[in-house]
Amino acid sequence: MIYLDNNSTTAPLPEVIDAVTNTLSQNWGNPSSAHEMGRNAREALESARYTTASACGIASPASLVFTASGTESINLGFSCLLSPDIRQILISSVEHSAVLRAAERWADGRKVLCVPVDAEGALDLDYLRWAASKLPSLVSVGFANNETGVIADIASVSAICREAGSLLHVDAIQAVGKLPLHLDSLDCAAASLSAHKFHGPPGCGILFLKQRPVGDFHRRIPAPGHQQQGLRAGTENLPSIVGCGVAASLLQRSLEAGSRVESLRNQLEINLLEKIPGSEVHGRLSLRLSNTISLYCPGRNAADLVAALNRFGVAVSAGAACSSGGKSSHVIRLMGFSEERANGTLRFSLSCHTTSEEIVAAATMVEQAFNLTPATSQ
Q: Among all residues, which ones are annotated catalytic?
A: 322
Q: Using an 8 Å Cβ cutoff, are 224 and 80 in contact?
A: no
Residues 312/369, Cβ–Cβ less than 8 Å: yes
CA–CA dist 232, 223 (Å, integer): 6
Residues 115 and 66 sit within 8 Å (Cβ to Cβ):
no
Q: Using alpha carbons, select from 170, 205, 198, 200 the residue that is nearest to residue 184.
A: 170
Alpha helices by DSSP H, listed for 56-209, are: 70-81, 97-106, 125-132, 154-164
What DSSP designation does 172 have? -
Residue 296 β-bridge partners: 280, 345
Contacts 24+ apart (CB under 8 A), 104-107: 105/75, 105/78, 106/75, 106/78, 106/79, 106/82
Cα angle 230, 232, 234; round to 5? 105
**Distance from C-alpha of 25 to C-alpha of 4, rounded to nearest angstrom:** 33
Beta-carbon contacts of residue 3 (< 8 Å; ≥ 6 apart): 11, 315, 351, 354
Beta strands at 345-349 and 292-296: parallel, antiparallel or unpaired: antiparallel
**Could you tell me the strand order of the sheet in which 317-318 lies?**
280-281, 292-296, 345-349, 317-318
The one-letter amino acid code at 148 reads: T
Measured distance CA(195)–CA(204) in Å, rounded: 6
* Residue 46 amino acid letter: E
Identify which of 208, 209, 207, 202 has the alpha carbon closest to the alpha carbon of residue 243: 202
